[in-house]
Amino acid sequence: MGISDGRVVIVTGAGQGIGRAHALAFGADGARVVVNDVGPAAEQVAADVRAAGGSAVASLGDVSDWAYGEELVRTAVDAYGRLDALVNNAGLVRDRMLVNMSEAEWDLVLQVDLKGHFVPLRHAAAYWKEQAKGGSPVDARVVNTSSGAGLMGSVGQGNYSAAKAGVVALTQVAAVEMSRFGVKLNAIAPAARTPMTEVVFARTMAKPATGFDPMAPENVSPLVVWLASADCDVTGRVFEVEAGIISPADGWQHGPREDRGDRWPVEDVGPAVRRLLDKAPQPEKVYGQ
């Protein structure tokens, strides 16, 4: 049916928005899909995949919960005999300027958006390591979900920006560590109209009356389907994606340097920093700046 034919894919946070679009796209491309969400919407999406001719099962649970993360991987293996790809998509926002942000708002976003990536990834990695060490060939993929806020920062989203920047760093490290087990791992930074973004982007992401909808979540899914396929031959990269646009995003790079060969006197530090910044590229502006 497609490049996903027969592959077993977990999609987290797939009860609505971008995750739902991913699950339907994988089903249409021939994958067998494990649809995760915290509520019964996951069951409806799994039913939608099946109604369209695909194969899917639902798994309800919190992806930041350690025991459930292990159960989620086991669900895929029990239902379909193996796991080929994990798409970490689950996330939420609690937007607030830092001076007004509560501890609970910080903790919840970091728990779901960052730990909720780590937990399924950790248990999937353990499964693939066991398969590789047992002599079974592994050709697995992971797609993590960051955000423009994680790449550039976003005013009023300090918690979300920190979590999504963490996803990028986790992706870079895990891509190196997991390569020995036959796993390729990348991240996306999507922009689309979803229940999570519709209030923030109500004007700029309005749905057109007719024609191509540049902010439809379905526009993100083709890249994700490819990144989760055996055809994907890249790892450790981040791709911005929206509408009909795909763009590799580059992260921190070593900049110009001055080596004094000794400890810097305080009075010489300021002039040195200014000289170095004159040579360095200007950083991208924070969204909302």
pTM value > 0.85: yes
Among residues 146, 164, 221, 229, the one annotated as catalytic is 164
Amino acid at residue number 284: E
Q: What is the pLDDT of residue 204?
A: 53
Segment 122-167, tens digit of pLDDT: 999 999 999 999 999 999 999 999 999 999 999 999 999 999 999 9
287 flagged as catalytic: no
Q: What is the pLDDT of residue 206?
A: 63
279 flagged as catalytic: no
Q: Element (H or E) spanning 21, and its range?
A: helix 17-28
The three-state DSSP-derived secondary structure of 181-229 is HCEEEEEEEECCCCCCCCCCCCCCCCCCCCCCCCCCHHHCHHHHHHHCC
Tell me: pLDDT of 197 over 70. Answer: no
Q: What is the pLDDT of residue 194?
A: 76
CA distance 135 to 132: 5
* Averaged pLDDT for residues 234-247: 96
Tell me: pLDDT of 59 over 80. Answer: yes
Q: Helix 103-110 to helix 158-178 angle, to the nearest 10 degrees?
A: 30
Tell me: pLDDT of 203 over 60. Answer: no
* Averaged pLDDT for residues 40-53: 98
Tell me: pLDDT of 209 over 90. Answer: no
Segment 86-120, tens digit of pLDDT: 999 999 999 999 999 999 999 999 999 999 999 99
247 flagged as catalytic: no
Helix (H, G, I), strand (E, B) or coil at 257: coil
Q: What is the pLDDT of residue 251?
A: 85
Tell me: pLDDT of 198 over 70. Answer: no
The CATH class for the domain spanning 8-249 reads alpha beta
* Averaged pLDDT for residues 206-223: 87
Q: What is the pLDDT of residue 134?
A: 96
What is the share, in percent, of the chain residues with pLDDT greater than 90? 90
Tell me: pLDDT of 202 over 80. Answer: no
Tell me: pLDDT of 205 over 70. Answer: no
Burial code (b: 16+ CB inside 10 Å, e: under 16) for 111-121 equals: bbbbbbbbbbb
Q: What is the pLDDT of residue 113?
A: 98
* Averaged pLDDT for residues 64-92: 98
Among residues 59, 147, 154, 161, the one annotated as catalytic is 147
User: What is the pLDDT confidence band of residue 211, given thresholds at 50, 70 and 90?
Assistant: confident
Q: How is the chain split into domains, by residue range?
A: 8-249
Tell me: pLDDT of 200 over 90. Answer: no
Q: What is the pLDDT of residue 201?
A: 54
Neighbouring-strand partners of residue 141: 85, 184
Q: What is the pLDDT of residue 1?
A: 73
